[in-house]
Structure 1
Amino acid sequence: MSAGQDGPRPYRNYVYAYPHKTAYRRFPDRPVLRELWAWERKDALSLYAHLPFCEVRCGFCNLFTRVGAPEGLIGRYLDALERQAVAVREALGDAEPVRFAGAAFGGGTPTFLTAGELERLCDITEKRMGVDLTAVPLSVETSPATATGDRLAVLADRGATRLSIGVQTFVEEEARAAVRPQRRADVEAALERIRAAGVPVLNIDLIYGIDGQTARSWRHSLDAALAWEPEELYLYPLYKRPLTPLGRRAAEGGAAWDAERLGRYREGRDHLLARGYEQRSMRMFRRAAAPPQGADDYACQTDGMIGLGCGARSYTTTHHYSFDYAVNMTEIRSIVDAYTRTADFGRAEIGFRLEPSGDEARRRHLLQSLLQAEGMETAGYRERFGADPGEDFGAELDRFAALGWLDAGAPAGLLRLSPEGLAHSDALGPELFSPAVRELMGGYEAK
C-alpha cells in the first residue's frame, strides 16, 4: 500500500508505550504509592533509571534531556534519585518477596556521568532498590563521546549485559544534516572501547530518512555497523518533531518523504535479514547467535515497571505515573531542578488511570503484543480479559487484514503482523488509540 492512497501514512507516531505520555494529566488526589503497589505482583519487576543529561542536543531529539550540567547538579540529581528509590522501595513493602527481572539506565545519556557517579548510580540501584545488577540483565545507553574506558569499566564490572550506542549514521555529512556533530573516527574508537569492555551485547542505533541520505549511503552505514558484528541493531525512521532543532527548521515531509523512508526501511530490513539477523519488531534486529538478553518470565503487558528519575514512568495495573514532561530546553531545566528539590516521593503526581480489565488495558495489551514480530497468542488474551481480541477490536483487525498488515498464514490462535504490517507499525499503533486518549493527546500543550 502506498502512503496517502489506500492506507494511513506509514510514519504517524512511534508507539513504545500506551497510553502516550502526552495523555498523562495531574492526579487531583495524588495517590499514595504504597496503596498503588499494595495488590500488585512484585515477583518480576523491571527497573528503569532515567538520567536526563547529554553533551549535545541532536536535531531530531525530542527526549526529556538537557545539554550539560552546572557544577553540583548531577550530585543533587543523584541525591534526589536516592530519596526516590528509598520511598519507592518502602512503598513496595515486605509482605511478599520483591524480585527484579531486569534493569536499564537510559536518558539522556547515562554515561554523561563520570565513572564515580556511575558507581553511585549502581549503588543506589542495588542498596536502595534491592536490584542485584550482577544477577539480572542490565542495559545501558551510551554515546560516542561519553563511552570512555573508565566509565565502560565500571558498567562492565557492575554487571552490564548490554550497551546501546546511538551512532545514527557513519556518514559525516549526514550527521551534520541531522544536527549531530560527530566524526566517524570518534565513533569507531568508541565502538572499539565498547568491544574491549567485554559486555556481551552491543546494540547500534541507526537512522534512515536523513536529508541527503541515499540507498548507497544507507548501505554504507549498515555495512559499517555490521563490521562490528553487533548482537543487535535498531533502525529508526527520522521524525522532525515540534520544538526540536529539525522541527523548528522544517515540518514533516509529505508522501514523497514517506515513500523515501519506507524504501530505506525495506533496504535495511532485507540487508540485515540476509546477514543472519532476526527481526523482533519494526525497529529491532537481533543476530540469531546472540546471547539471551532479558528474562523469559517478564512481560511488559502484565508485569510492573519501576521508574526512577524525573523522566521515567512507572506502571501498575491501575496507574501509569511519572513526573512532568517537556521538550523545550528551558522547561526541561526547570523540571529537573524541581525534581532535585523534591523531598516527598511517596505519591504519584502525573499519569493515567486504567481499569485492569477495561478498554484501555485491552488496547495496551493488544498493541504492545502485536507490534512484536512474534505476535500474540489469542489464548493468553482470552485468559486475561475473557474475550477474543476479535470480539473487542473486530473493526480494527478487519481493517488491518484488508490493508495486508496481518499474517494470513499464521498458525491458528496466533495473531501476527505480516512483513508489511511490521513496516507500518508506526501507522498501526496509533490506529489502536482510544478516542479518549486521542482527545487527551490532542489537548496536550507542547512545552
Structure 2
Amino acid sequence: MTSTTPYRGYVYAYPHKTAYRPLAGHPAGRPLLSELWASEPKDALSLYLHIPFCEVRCGFCNLFTRIGAPDELTTRYLDALDRQAAAVRDALGDAEPVRFAAAAFGGGTPTFLTAGELERLCDIAEKRMGADLRSVPLSVETSPSTATADRLAVLAERGTTRVSIGVQSFVDAEARAAVRPQHRAEVEAALGRIRDARVPVLNIDLIYGIDGQTEESWRFSLDAALAWRPEELYLYPLYVRPLTGLGRHRTDADAPDTAWDEQRLRLYRAGRDHLLAHGYEQVSMRMFRLKDAPQAGPDDYACQTDGMIGLGCGARSYTSSLHYSFDYAVEMREIRGIIDDFTATEDFSRAEVGRYVTGDEARRRHLLQSLLQAEGLERAGYRERFGTDPHADFPAELDRFAARGWLDGSAAPGRLRLSPEGLAHSDALGPELFSPAVRAAMSAYEAK
C-alpha cells in the first residue's frame, strides 16, 4: 500500500479501536477476565484510568469524552470505576504477586474532577488495584482551565511525576481557529501553578497546521513554551477528522491537500530543528525531551510487551493475545449513551469489545511500535521474542521504506532505525504496516 500524504494517521496503538468488534460475536464469546489473565505475567503491569469529561471539546478532538457532567454523573462514573476495579483486581487473582510499574490518568480531562474526586480516583488505583502511586511513574493530563492549585496539590501529594497540559497554541487567534477557547494569560497562569506544584516533569502539547498559522507564529508558540523549560514537549500535526468540530465543517476531511501537507511538514521541520537547537532530544516524531530530564513514564509507542490494565469506558486493556475495551464513538450523543451504560453496569467480569492479536499481528505491532521510536528496533530483541528476523517477516515493507529514504543507512547492523525523513513521515509509514485484516476492519467500521 502506498501513501499519497505524510499525514495518513497518528498510530498511537495497534490495532486501532476502529478494528475492535463486539466479542459476543466471536466464536469464543465474551471471555472472562479471570481466564484472560490467568497465565499472563503480572509483575510489571501498566495501569490507566480514563476520565471521559471535559469543560469544552476542542475542534480537532476525536477522543472519547463528553462536555460536562450533569446530575452527579462524575459520582456515578467513579462508583462504576470502583466496581470495575474490584472486578479486575479479583480477576488478576493472588496466585502470584501483582505489581504495577507505571500509571496514568487520561481522558478527556482527569482534572475535570474536583480535588476530592481526584483523591477518590487515586484511592481506586491504590486501594482497589494495589498500585503504589508514590513509587511508580504517574502521568496525569490536564488543561489550562482545570489545572487549579487544589487539584494539583492533590496530584503532587499522591505521587504524580508528570503533568501534561494541552496548550496547542500560545496565539489566541490560533486557539480560536482550532475551536479551543482559551487566552494566553490563562495558559501562562496554569503553567505557573504546575511549576509551583513541583511535579518533576512538565509536558506541553503544541499543534502545527492550524488555519492561519505561519512559521513566525509557530516559532512564537515554541518560544513561549520554551520559556517554561518544560522537560517534555509534544508537537502534533493538526488532523481534521470526521464527526469532530472541525470535521463537521469540511465534507472533504479525508481528501488530499498538498498545500496543507507541505505546510505541516515545513512547520514540523522548523519545530524539530528549533527544539534540537535548544537542548532537546527527539524521542519520536511527536515527542521531544530535554536532555538529562527525568523520564517520568513510558515513551511513545514503548509498550513492546503486553500487560496494560485500562479502567473506564474509554480505556484499553492489553493481554498477550487480546486487546479489549468498551464501545467507541466520537459523536457526542453516542458517547453519552456509552457512558450512561458504563455507569449502570454491575458486572465487569468479562471483556466486551476487542481484537485478538497473535502471530503476524503481534510481529507487526512490535515492529511498528519500535520503528516509530527514534532509537528504532533492536533486531536481536525481535529475534529473541519471535524467533525470526524483521527483514524476513516484512521484506516488502522494509524494502519500500528503504527505497524512500526512510531508513537510516548509518545505523548499526543490529539496529533498524528511521532516518530523520522517515521520522517526519511516521504518520504515513505506520499505517503501511497495518495488516490487510486490520485495514479491512477499520474500513468497515461505521463512525458514530
Q: TM-score range by the shorter chain?
A: over 0.9
Equivalents in 2 of 1:96, 1:70: separation in Å?
Answer: 42
Partner of 2:61: 61
Partner of 2:5: 9
Contact 2:53 2:65 in 1 (8 A): yes
Letter paired with 1:26: P
Question: After the TM superposition, which residues 35-50 of structure 1 pair with which residues of structure 2 at under 5 Å, given as runs?
Answer: 35-50=35-50
Deviations 1:9-47 (A, max 9, x none): 100010010000000001121100000001100111000
Partner of 1:18: 14
Q: How much has 1:301 moved relative to structure 2?
A: 1.5
The percentage of aligned residue pairs carrying the same residue is 77
Q: How much has 1:412 moved relative to structure 2?
A: 1.1
Contact 1:85 1:128 in 2 (8 A): yes
Determine whether 1:93 maps to 2:93: yes
Equivalents in 2 of 1:441, 1:7: separation in Å?
Answer: 17
Partner of 1:3: none
Pairing partner for 1:261 from 256, 261, 264:
264
Equivalents in 1 of 2:382, 2:295: separation in Å?
Answer: 26
Q: How much has 1:291 moved relative to structure 2?
A: 1.4
For these two proteins, the number of residue pairs brought into alignment is: 439
Contact 2:302 2:369 in 1 (8 A): no
Contact 1:101 1:295 in 2 (8 A): no
Partner of 1:208: 208
Question: After the TM superposition, which residues 367-446 of structure 1 pair with which residues of structure 2 at under 5 Å, given as runs?
Answer: 367-446=368-447
Equivalents in 1 of 2:80, 2:166: separation in Å?
Answer: 27
Determine whether 1:274 maps to 2:277: yes
User: What SS does the corresponding residue of 1:159 show, helix, strand or coil?
Assistant: coil
Question: After the TM superposition, which residues 357-376 of structure 1 pair with which residues of structure 2 at under 5 Å, given as runs?
Answer: 358-376=359-377
User: What SS does the corresponding residue of 1:245 show, helix, strand or coil?
Assistant: coil
Q: How much has 1:7 moved relative to structure 2?
A: 5.6
Equivalents in 2 of 1:388, 1:304: separation in Å?
Answer: 24
Determine whether 1:315 maps to 2:318: yes
Letter paired with 2:234: Y
Question: After the TM superposition, which residues 48-127 of structure 1 pair with which residues of structure 2 at under 5 Å, given as runs?
Answer: 48-127=48-127
Equivalents in 2 of 1:321, 1:307: separation in Å?
Answer: 9
Contact 2:316 2:323 in 1 (8 A): yes
**Aligned residues: CA RMSD:** 1.2
Equivalents in 2 of 1:294, 1:446: separation in Å?
Answer: 32
User: What SS does the corresponding residue of 1:236 show, helix, strand or coil?
Assistant: strand
TM-score under structure 1 normalisation? 0.97
Partner of 1:349: 352
Letter paired with 2:20: Y
Equivalents in 2 of 1:373, 1:196: separation in Å?
Answer: 32
Q: How much has 1:396 moved relative to structure 2?
A: 0.2
Partner of 1:168: 168
User: What SS does the corresponding residue of 2:31 show, helix, strand or coil?
Assistant: coil
Q: Which runs of 4+ in 1 moved over 3 A?
A: none
Contact 1:44 1:303 in 2 (8 A): no
Determine whether 1:144 maps to 2:134: no
Unaligned runs of 5+ residues in structure 2 are none
Equivalents in 1 of 2:442, 2:328: separation in Å?
Answer: 13
Unaligned runs of 5+ residues in structure 1 are 1-5
Letter paired with 1:208: Y
Contact 2:64 2:107 in 1 (8 A): yes
Equivalents in 2 of 1:88, 1:365: separation in Å?
Answer: 26
Equivalents in 1 of 2:302, 2:198: separation in Å?
Answer: 28
Contact 1:209 1:261 in 2 (8 A): yes
Equivalents in 1 of 2:170, 2:162: separation in Å?
Answer: 21
Equivalents in 1 of 2:295, 2:225: separation in Å?
Answer: 21
Q: How much has 1:414 moved relative to structure 2?
A: 0.1
Partner of 2:192: 192
Contact 1:7 1:403 in 2 (8 A): no
Q: How much has 1:295 moved relative to structure 2?
A: 6.7
TM-score under structure 2 normalisation? 0.97
Contact 2:302 2:370 in 1 (8 A): no
Equivalents in 2 of 1:293, 1:158: separation in Å?
Answer: 15
Letter paired with 1:25: R
Letter paired with 1:127: K
Partner of 2:287: 284
Letter paired with 1:348: A
Contact 1:56 1:67 in 2 (8 A): yes
Contact 2:139 2:297 in 1 (8 A): no
Equivalents in 2 of 1:210, 1:379: separation in Å?
Answer: 41
Equivalents in 2 of 1:295, 1:45: separation in Å?
Answer: 12
Deviations 1:352-401 (A, max 9, x none): 0122xx10000000000100001010011111111100000000000000
Pairing partner for 2:334 from 331, 335, 346:
331
Partner of 1:300: 303
The 3 A distance-change label for structure 1 pair 406 and 167 is: same
Q: How much has 1:303 moved relative to structure 2?
A: 3.2
Equivalents in 2 of 1:106, 1:41: separation in Å?
Answer: 24
The 3 A distance-change label for structure 1 pair 295 and 54 is: closer
User: What SS does the corresponding residue of 2:216 show, helix, strand or coil?
Assistant: helix
